[in-house]
Amino acid sequence: MRKVLVLEDEDSIRSFVVLNLQRAGYQTVEASSGEDALELMKQNPDIRLALLDVMLPGIDGFEVCRRIRASGKRVGIIMLTARSQEMDKVTGLMTGADDYVTKPFSPAELTARVDALYRRIGDSDTAATPRSGEISSPPFLLNTRNRTLEKNGQRIKLTQVEYTVMKLLMENPGKALSREEILEAVWGRDYYGEVKIVDVNIRRLRLKVEDDPTTPTYITTVWGYGYKWEA
Ligand code: CA
């Protein structure tokens, strides 16, 4: 599980950040003070990324950043800075932060930064312990050995055909696949039925995997062509 520490003293901002990270497939640990954050970092050695607000009642975010760096742990750090404090970025990067996000930020901006940093940190780990037989596309994990799909660690029951469609999509993140292409890959060249079967299976898959099947965000429609897996 990809665990992220969220340090922010303002409840509304913290909840907003936590909600959006969870939607993006991350597990979150929350702190409202720098002191708490450092304690939680000790208790959760598997935290790989920390979002640190700068302005806090006790020790500030820069100091938390400095102390995390001093601990020698390999953790990605993103500072949450205020627009009025332009110097924050510089100071943040000086104290060892990897990136910063300026408030107010959109959920898309936040998760994009977190995903990007997580990918950078995660890369070397993946190389060290190759997890073959798995296709990961948070919050989804497809296990190709026992042909199962998990979303946020929860098993989603799929038919064999649905599984095969899902695998094809997840193997081609961001790529528009034509309905004919999907038909051939899943049902085979000799299939004599209609291409409509692709749509039927996509519709069923959406009911199982989408947060809101009426507005799909994972399996999107490429109008007049086919479908795409949004990585
Ligand atoms: Ca604050």
> Taking residues 191-197, what's their average pLDDT?
78
For residue range 206-231, list pLDDT tens digits in order.
Answer: 999 999 999 999 999 999 999 999 97
Q: Residue 83: what pLDDT?
A: 66
**Cα 180 from Cα 47, distance rounded (Å):** 43
C-alpha 204, offset from chain centre: 24
Residue 125 DSSP label:
H
Q: Residue 87: what pLDDT?
A: 62
99-103, strands of its sheet edge to edge: 27-31, 3-7, 47-53, 76-82, 99-103
Cβ 168 vs Cβ 184: under 8 Å: no
For residue 214, the CA-to-ligand 1 centroid distance in Å is 37
For residue 65, the CA-to-ligand 1 centroid distance in Å is 15
> Taking residues 193-211, what's their average pLDDT?
90
For residue 62, the CA-to-ligand 1 centroid distance in Å is 12
130, pLDDT greater than 80: no
For residue 114, the CA-to-ligand 1 centroid distance in Å is 19
Query: How confident is residue 84, by pLDDT bands cut at 50, 70 and 90?
Result: low
For residue 23, the CA-to-ligand 1 centroid distance in Å is 23
For strands 176-178 and 226-229, give the pairing: antiparallel
**Cα 131 from Cα 138, distance rounded (Å):** 15
For residue range 22-72, list pLDDT tens digits in order.
Answer: 998 899 999 999 999 999 999 998 899 999 999 999 999 999 999 998 887
Which is more confident, 208 or 1?
Answer: 208
> Taking residues 120-147, what's their average pLDDT?
71
Opening angle at CA 172, ends 216 and 200, nearest 5: 45
For residue 8, the CA-to-ligand 1 centroid distance in Å is 6
For residue 72, the CA-to-ligand 1 centroid distance in Å is 26
Mean pLDDT of the chain: 87
For residue 7, the CA-to-ligand 1 centroid distance in Å is 9
Q: Residue 125: what pLDDT?
A: 45
Q: Kindly list the protein residues that place their beta carbon closer than 5 angstroms to ligand 1, a single-atom ion.
A: 9, 53, 55
Query: How confident is residue 147, by pLDDT bands cut at 50, 70 and 90?
Result: confident
- Amino acid identity, residue 95? T
Query: How confident is residue 19, by pLDDT bands cut at 50, 70 and 90?
Result: very high
For residue 103, the CA-to-ligand 1 centroid distance in Å is 10
**Cα 189 from Cα 153, distance rounded (Å):** 35
